[in-house]
Amino acid sequence: MMGGGANMMGWGGGPGLAGGGLLMLLFWGVLIVAAVVGVRWLWDQSRPAAGHGREESSLEILKRRYARGEIGREEFELKKRDLE
C-alpha cells in the first residue's frame, strides 16, 4: 500500500500532471511578458518623449553661446544677420 500514496497526492501522473504543466506554462508566459514590458519601459525612459520638449531655434542657441562667452559680439552679430 505504500506505493499507492504517491498517486493519491497527484505526484504519480494523471490529472495532476496536466494541471501542473499548464501552471508552469502560464508562469513562464507571464514571466516573458513581464520581461518584455520591463525592457520596453526602460527603453522608453531613455528616449526623449515626442512632443514633450521643444526644439531650440538656431537664434536661441546663438544667444546662449554669446551669453556664455563662447563667441564675441562681432561674431554674434554676423551670425545673427545670417540667420535672419
Per-residue pLDDT, 31:
97
Domain containing 63 equals 12-44+56-83
Contact 22, 30 (CB under 8 A): no
Q: What is the pTM of this model?
A: 0.40
Q: Hunting for cell 551669453 — which residue is that?
A: 67
- 49-67 per-residue burial string, b: 16 or more CB within 10 A, e: under 16: eeeeeeeeeeeeebeeebe
In a domain? residue 77: yes
In a domain? residue 29: yes
Cα first-last separation, the chain: 97
The count of domains in the chain is: 1
Please provide the average confidence, as pLDDT, over all residues in the chain. Answer: 80
In a domain? residue 72: yes
In a domain? residue 76: yes
In a domain? residue 22: yes
In a domain? residue 50: no
